[in-house]
Amino acid sequence: MKIDYGEPFVGRAGKLMDMAFQTVGIKREDVYIANIVKCRPPGNRNPEEIEAAACLNYLRNQVLLVKPKIIVLLRKCST
Protein backbone atom coordinates (compact mmCIF):
# COMPACT_ATOMS: atom_id res chain seq x y z
CA MET A 1 0.00 0.00 0.00
CA LYS A 2 1.37 3.38 -1.05
CA ILE A 3 1.03 6.19 1.48
CA ASP A 4 0.36 9.71 0.23
CA TYR A 5 1.93 12.32 2.51
CA GLY A 6 0.43 15.23 0.60
CA GLU A 7 3.82 16.35 -0.68
CA PRO A 8 4.29 16.89 -4.41
CA PHE A 9 7.05 15.13 -6.33
CA VAL A 10 8.21 12.63 -3.71
CA GLY A 11 8.84 9.64 -5.98
CA ARG A 12 11.18 9.17 -8.94
CA ALA A 13 10.07 12.47 -10.46
CA GLY A 14 10.88 14.23 -7.19
CA LYS A 15 14.37 12.78 -7.04
CA LEU A 16 15.01 13.88 -10.61
CA MET A 17 13.67 17.35 -9.85
CA ASP A 18 15.86 17.59 -6.73
CA MET A 19 18.94 16.65 -8.78
CA ALA A 20 18.05 19.30 -11.37
CA PHE A 21 17.66 21.94 -8.65
CA GLN A 22 20.92 20.90 -7.04
CA THR A 23 22.73 21.14 -10.38
CA VAL A 24 21.81 24.83 -10.68
CA GLY A 25 22.30 25.60 -6.99
CA ILE A 26 18.67 25.80 -5.87
CA LYS A 27 17.52 24.26 -2.59
CA ARG A 28 14.17 22.50 -2.69
CA GLU A 29 13.05 24.36 0.41
CA ASP A 30 13.43 27.60 -1.61
CA VAL A 31 10.87 26.37 -4.15
CA TYR A 32 7.08 26.45 -3.71
CA ILE A 33 5.28 23.69 -5.60
CA ALA A 34 1.55 23.90 -6.31
CA ASN A 35 -0.72 21.65 -8.29
CA ILE A 36 -3.62 22.61 -10.52
CA VAL A 37 -5.89 20.25 -8.57
CA LYS A 38 -5.87 19.82 -4.81
CA CYS A 39 -6.63 16.10 -4.78
CA ARG A 40 -5.24 13.34 -6.95
CA PRO A 41 -7.66 12.09 -9.64
CA PRO A 42 -8.34 8.33 -9.58
CA GLY A 43 -5.55 6.30 -11.15
CA ASN A 44 -3.28 9.37 -11.06
CA ARG A 45 -4.76 10.42 -14.41
CA ASN A 46 -4.62 13.98 -15.72
CA PRO A 47 -7.40 16.10 -14.24
CA GLU A 48 -10.44 16.80 -16.36
CA GLU A 49 -11.29 20.40 -17.19
CA ILE A 50 -14.12 20.53 -14.65
CA GLU A 51 -11.78 19.24 -11.91
CA ALA A 52 -9.16 21.87 -12.69
CA ALA A 53 -11.81 24.61 -12.85
CA ALA A 54 -13.10 23.60 -9.41
CA CYS A 55 -9.65 24.23 -7.89
CA LEU A 56 -8.66 27.32 -9.89
CA ASN A 57 -9.59 29.96 -7.31
CA TYR A 58 -7.59 28.12 -4.65
CA LEU A 59 -4.56 28.06 -6.96
CA ARG A 60 -4.98 31.76 -7.79
CA ASN A 61 -5.02 32.58 -4.06
CA GLN A 62 -1.86 30.50 -3.51
CA VAL A 63 -0.07 32.52 -6.19
CA LEU A 64 -1.30 35.82 -4.70
CA LEU A 65 -0.09 34.83 -1.23
CA VAL A 66 3.28 33.39 -2.26
CA LYS A 67 4.07 36.16 -4.80
CA PRO A 68 6.51 34.07 -6.81
CA LYS A 69 9.22 35.72 -8.89
CA ILE A 70 9.01 32.92 -11.46
CA ILE A 71 6.24 30.46 -12.33
CA VAL A 72 7.19 27.30 -14.20
CA LEU A 73 4.43 25.16 -15.70
CA LEU A 74 5.16 21.45 -15.88
CA ARG A 75 3.24 18.81 -17.81
CA LYS A 76 0.56 19.16 -20.41
CA CYS A 77 -2.40 19.82 -18.11
CA SER A 78 -0.83 22.92 -16.52
CA THR A 79 -0.07 24.57 -19.80
**pLDDT tens-digit series, residues 47-67:** 899 998 999 999 999 999 999
As for how many domains the chain has, the answer is 2
pLDDT at 2 over 60: no
Clarify whether residues 27 and 47 are in a common domain. Answer: no
Clarify whether residues 44 and 24 are in a common domain. Answer: no
Clarify whether residues 42 and 67 are in a common domain. Answer: yes
Clarify whether residues 40 and 26 are in a common domain. Answer: no
- Predicted pLDDT of residue 12: 86
- 60 and 41 Cβ atoms separated by less than 8 Å: no
**Total-model pTM:** 0.71
Clarify whether residues 6 and 27 are in a common domain. Answer: yes
Which residue range is the domain that position 49 belongs to?
34-79
- What integer best gives the mean pLDDT of the chain? 85
DSSP reduced 3-state for 55: helix
Clarify whether residues 39 and 74 are in a common domain. Answer: yes
